[in-house]
Chains A and B, each alone.
Chain A
Amino acid sequence: MALQASQLKVGDIHRERVVENLSRTQLVQYAGASGDYNPLHTDEIYTVQVAGYKGVFAHGMLTMGLTGKMLTNYVGDGRLTKFGVRFTNQVWPGDTLDARATVTAIREENGVHYADLEVVTTNQEGKEVVTGHATARIDP
């Protein structure tokens, strides 16, 4: 169900828990599906002993994908016209992420209605892991 301009207000918030206790296996699953086999995400030995991190961590694009799930649940299927994020902190196995969209503008362009959204995903410590923005086509 799409959002409706007439029902929506600036400041409206939608939030969702997008992953709970992220598993290393999900990182493997994402590597396989996306084709990004960077060992930083699946190879603990390389990541600790060669790259110098405390352990494997999630692909930024997995966190963006998890965040996108919250967005499409909110704005409806095939309604996004823009979605952009900055990766601000790493996401580690065991993390639980909450994603949130806040309506920043409701506007009309050439007879089409749009909602602009501010997007933030935080971990269980309240630390932001991605911040960004999205735009969705909405109904009048």
Chain B
Amino acid sequence: MAKVIFPVEATHIMMFARAIGDPNPVYHDPTAAAGTEVGGIIAPPTFPQAVAQFDPDYPLRPKPGEPWFGSAAEPTGSTAQRGTGGLHASQEFEYHRALRPGDVLTVEVRDGESWERESKRAGKLLFSERIKEYRDQNGELVITARSVGVMTERPVES
């Protein structure tokens, strides 16, 4: 994901709000939303993560004709050794304004720091930080997202 164009759409916001179980009309009802302080439909605070939909190379989406590491005829459909896979360790958003349907965002990602730590629950942990900047159709920075992923040596015991 170098630079991804992320068009913000009302239906996508509605589906995302449903998925997080949020019935707030500001996410799906234009008439009700018009009467609120924000004056129209906006996106919920964690919606920027749905940029994954628009990343052509996003690895966690099955693609036609390519091996997929989830189950099909066999428990794993791919010989690729995913190990325990990566987990999400932390996520932070900084908001300059709310996202609205009609916004067309350009999202750029860059790598931040990486570090290692030993843990009792999952063995050696390898952390890596990614920073995403979301700019709108006017070139204004609207959201900065910092995400830390962790690769674990073994599954996390809970």
- Which residues of chain A have a CB within 8 Å of any CB of chain B? 2, 18-19, 26, 29-30, 32-40, 43, 45-46, 49-54, 59-62, 64-66, 68-69, 71-73, 76-78, 80-87, 89-90, 92, 132
Contact = CB atoms under 8 A, between A and B. Distances in A.
Contacts of B155: 51-53
A62 to B, nearest CB: 7
B52 A69 contact: no
Given A35-B53, A45-B71, A72-B45, A64 B91 contact: yes
Contact of A82 (B58, B82, B95): B95
Contacts of A2: 37
Contacts of B92: 82-85, 132
Contacts of A90: 156, 158
Contacts of A29: 18-19
Contacts of A36: 49, 52, 60
B158 A62 contact: no
Interface in B100-132: none
B80 to A, nearest CB: 11
Contacts of A72: 22, 24, 44-45
A46 B45 contact: no
Interface of B: 12, 15-16, 18-22, 24, 26, 36-38, 42, 44-46, 49-53, 58, 60-62, 69-71, 75-76, 82, 84-85, 87-98, 146, 154-156, 158
Contacts of B26: 77
Nearest to B70: A39
Contacts of B53: 34-35
Nearest to B39: A78
7 smallest beta-carbon distances between A and B, as pairs: A84-B92, A39-B70, A65-B20, A35-B52, A35-B53, A60-B88, A33-B19
B19 A32 contact: yes
Best-surrounded residue of B58, B60, B76, B154 (most CB of chain A within 10 A): B60
A136 to B, nearest CB: 10
Contact of A46 (B69, B146, B158): B69
B40 to A, nearest CB: 10
